[in-house]
Amino acid sequence: MFRASRSHESINVAADLQVGYSYNMDKSIPYKVVHRKVKHPRLEFKTKELTVIVPHGYDPAIILQKYDKWISRKHRLIQECLKDAANKEMSDRTLGDLKDLVGVYLADVCRDLDVTVNKILFRKMRTKWASCSSHNNLTFNTLMARLPDDLVAYIVLHEAAHMLERNHKKPFWNIITRYANDYKAHEKELHTYWYLIHDTI
């Protein structure tokens, strides 16, 4: 799966929290606390805002303290992405054009990787750019219409590679590196576009 990625990453933690970090969280990081009927507290960066979801009666400071370093790291990455976002342009290609483009890239990469797609689906998704099911159905986010060609190509490559390697371990990245040496830059750029696009919808 190509989660839009670490951009909306969330951490689920067990209820029996052990506080291991000292509380030195950057107080300038804004966050929103949501009390909800959940079993375990969790942190989300689905958009650029940190949301702390906690069960009723749970002190959010506990989870904020525990994941202090993770929060700072995410926050820094998001700030970097937002800075980059100022220089990015969004494509105005139509959904039809996106489908054609994905089709062209996919045919190429599937031939190279010797894999066969079962179904290609397009829909608007709130949490990821694309995904690959165990039956090799590929789903692409229609919001990809706003991305530049090279990032569309990268997402197609990423999902096609998942037909060979389901997770994000080393063999997966070895395949990706064969075609996109600079995949880390692409991944980062995708974060940037994610925030940019979600600011406008």
**Which residue number, 2 or 58, has a Cβ lying nearer to Zn ion?**
2
The contacts of residue 167 (CB under 8 Å, 6+ apart) are: none
Residue nearest to Zn ion according to CB distances in the complex: 2
Could you list the residues that contact Zn ion (CB under 5 A)? Answer: 2
The widest CA-to-CA distance across the chain, in whole angstroms, is: 55
Q: Which of 77, 75, 70 is nearest to 20 (CA)?
A: 70
- State in angstroms the smallest separation of the CB of 200 from Zn ion: 25
Q: Which of 97, 115, 29 is nearest to 65 (CA)?
A: 29
DSSP string, 26-94: -TTS-EEEEE-S-SS-EEE-SSSSEEEEE-TT--HHHHHHHTHHHHHHHHHHHHHHHHHHTT-------
Number of Cβ within 10 Å of residue 64's Cβ equals 21
- State in angstroms the smallest separation of the CB of 52 from Zn ion: 26
- State in angstroms the smallest separation of the CB of 67 from Zn ion: 23
**Which residue number, 2 or 67, has a Cβ lying nearer to Zn ion?**
2
- State in angstroms the smallest separation of the CB of 8 from Zn ion: 13
**Which residue number, 6 or 40, has a Cβ lying nearer to Zn ion?**
6
**Which residue number, 2 or 140, has a Cβ lying nearer to Zn ion?**
2
- State in angstroms the smallest separation of the CB of 34 from Zn ion: 28
**Which residue number, 2 or 45, has a Cβ lying nearer to Zn ion?**
2
Q: Which of 95, 97, 42 is nearest to 71 (CA)?
A: 42
